[in-house]
Amino acid sequence: MFFEIERHEVPHSVDEDPQTQVSLRLLHDVVKMEEVDHLHLASCLCMPAPSKVHSSGGGDWIVLSDTEGDLYGFLFLAGECGKMSLSKNHGRFSSKQAKHDRGIPVSLLLPTYGSTPFCHYGKIKEQCITYTNFLEGLECEKDRFFSLADNGKLLSWNLERHGWASQVEESMNGILEGDEENSRKCIAAHSSRLAPHVLVVVDQSQHKMICVDTARKQEYALSKTMCRFGGA
């Protein structure tokens, strides 16, 4: 269920400051969607509204993934008096773009901060600020994100003219090990702000943290990009 948190100032007396009360307002119940018989959510990603709808009052774009390998998107718009409402642009992602293996949970949805090593330099030059200040205020991309399934399959999602399109990231091939097909290989991951083309993945089967260069289309996993965790 999606709720909006509403704040209300309640006045008391002339000499006292008004107090703030918080209430919840139900926006949408995902389980009641017509195309959903049962839904077991695995991950949630909150992003700014995509560029195409941001100018028309877009507030938040929220992506959900489930244990069957499907993704769902929900666009919430800011209406009158700042109240949020669910847009008609919501539901399951296109089956043509659903390239995750069926029955494999997609437990990680990851924001991105750029696709190349040098994509930030032009913006920093325009704003005339230091790299540190730029990174502190940097928000995730509006039209791009990653989805990582439990079997290690990584998809990059980009908003194109006809909607969201996915592409399998070949840079993950050969990096993850493990013979157990039903085991979850990646327990955590995060896109780097400092090196926006790098994805840091925690592989629990190898007990390693791995830096994946997503700008490369072929296998890329050097010993220098790994470090072990845990143990004595």
Indicate the pLDDT class of residue 57, thresholds 50, 70 and 90: low
pLDDT in tens, 199-227: 999 888 778 888 888 887 554 444 445 66
User: CB of 43 within 8 A of CB of 16?
Assistant: no
User: 195: closest CA among 130, 124, 118?
Assistant: 118
Question: What's the pLDDT score for residue 17?
Answer: 66
pTM over cut 0.95: no
pLDDT in tens, 90-101: 888 988 898 999
Give how far Cα 112 sits from Cα of 5, 90, 130, 158, Å.
27, 21, 21, 11
Residues 82, 84, 89, CA angle at the centre, nearest 5°?
135
User: CB of 111 within 8 A of CB of 119?
Assistant: no
Q: Looking at residue 2, what DSSP letter applies?
A: E
Q: Where are the domains of the chain?
A: 2-228
Question: What's the pLDDT score for residue 223?
Answer: 40
Tokens standing for residue 105 = 């949970």
